[in-house]
Structure 1
């Protein structure tokens, strides 16, 4: 009943390794394509936005655009929903940052020297050396910027992760073996208290996604965080009408769960 999140340098084999771990342990495997499929339930608008902005460096305008914020909030909600279900491998999508502090989550970073990644990408994508070099720089740069823009963190800082493994110095089989062993240790930390806490965090992300995807409510600096056995919603609101809409959304998503508002009025 553990969770594995994989952050990976492009060309380091993260997706294949994650798939092998999931197959060996009968875990769910959650990657970009699965999450994009899940987005279809919210309508074609969000699938289109996802295809345009997923894991790319957002412009300043995009960071404040309600569709971009709504897309990020929905992806976070989906990732947390899978995490609450346990027994899951999550590839990218900021999972290592979203699940920081969850004791039964194994957060892993997979790396490899540029030369090894170039060789892998040239074969996989049928590219020459120059094109493969550009592609690796672009993909890694966009992923790093996405994390920085949305979580304010550097994606390559080892302290963020429980394990950092070089897939060029280890066989994929050995990497998989190491991850399976480490997940067994994490599994023992999935206490009822830890799982209940994750459930509360996930509820907060669900509420945030509900608010962020409603164009009638624009709440800059929106945050929904756990507080005791409930949640606190903070941000900036503009009109009393927005506050009433927020109250309706809280009742819809949270039911009887206590929710406190810490909202500041801006004319």
Structure 2
């Protein structure tokens, strides 16, 4: 990622009350069991509310400018169960940092439906974000897979089990959270009990109630998280920087960098990235230099 290129768009980071008051529209995140209706409901809500729908295809399109390496890797490992090798692989960690930064960038613009990829965990604690979970019994989802994907019953059941297990493992490995925990969502729907249309109606109504609830404090929290994620992505996707451990987060006041570096050149390069990308937000650099 190019830190200076991102900085050039810093006018988008001005406090929202300076642009249109604290009247931001809401954000919808959707966590979904495989073939429980996430795509259908998400696109229906986006069309009715005039929101952007951000699923895999949109992400791939938006990230093309980051390079073919990341597009190829995203196609390969998106929401899959990471292997032990993946967890320590430079490219995998870089992709995850890039994805988090992308989600925060999209959230800064509100009016967006974000599907999967841990968005509900990244955006928790923000009053204008509605976090929805979609489920359905396996048997009903088997029927949907057979119809939509043209496979037999046994193959459909195996595919559902694999996809659900992969998504749960993806969340556990990258966010250290439980994908199935209903407390992580504002609304949980069973699409075997309610139709896609009924769920869409309820979600649209809830989004209208969420609209305009973004406070200045919440805006600053979102902005701080976004900047921290952007800095982390710049560092994690830079092949010239070797950093064994890295944690970058916003504590409500400052962007905190923690981890260890083994070369002074890396420490200097990280400092330059922070200078360009922090946008005036206080930074506490707790990185340790270790031989």
Q: TM-score range by the shorter chain?
A: over 0.9
- 2:245 is paired with a residue whose SS is coil
- Whether the aligned pair in 1 keeps the contact of 2:31 and 2:115 (CA below 8 Å) is yes
Whether 1:39 and 2:39 are equivalent positions in the alignment is no
- Whether the aligned pair in 2 keeps the contact of 1:70 and 1:212 (CA below 8 Å) is yes
Whether 1:216 and 2:235 are equivalent positions in the alignment is no
The 2-side partners of 1:8 and 1:203 are apart by 28
Could you list the runs of 5+ residues in structure 2 that have no partner in the other structure? 1-24
- 2:255 is paired with a residue whose SS is strand
The 2-side partners of 1:83 and 1:228 are apart by 17
Alignment of 1:1-267 (within 5 A): 1-267=25-291
1:154-175 Cα shifts (integer Å, max 9, x gaps): 1011011111100110011110
Q: Give the TM-score, by structure 1 length.
A: 0.97
In the TM superposition, what is the alpha-carbon distance from 1:257 to its structure 2 partner?
2.8
- 1:18 is paired with a residue whose SS is helix
The 1-side partners of 2:186 and 2:88 are apart by 32
- Whether the aligned pair in 2 keeps the contact of 1:32 and 1:93 (CA below 8 Å) is no
- Which is worse superposed, 189-198 or 6-15? 189-198
- Which is worse superposed, 67-76 or 194-203? 194-203
- 2:274 is paired with a residue whose SS is helix
- Whether the aligned pair in 2 keeps the contact of 1:147 and 1:155 (CA below 8 Å) is yes
In the TM superposition, what is the alpha-carbon distance from 1:239 to its structure 2 partner?
1.8
In the TM superposition, what is the alpha-carbon distance from 1:228 to its structure 2 partner?
4.6
Q: Give the TM-score, by structure 2 length.
A: 0.89
1:137-193 Cα shifts (integer Å, max 9, x gaps): 111111111111101111011011111100110011110111011112222421232
The count of aligned residue pairs is: 267
The 1-side partners of 2:281 and 2:194 are apart by 47
Please provide the CA RMSD for this pair: 1.2
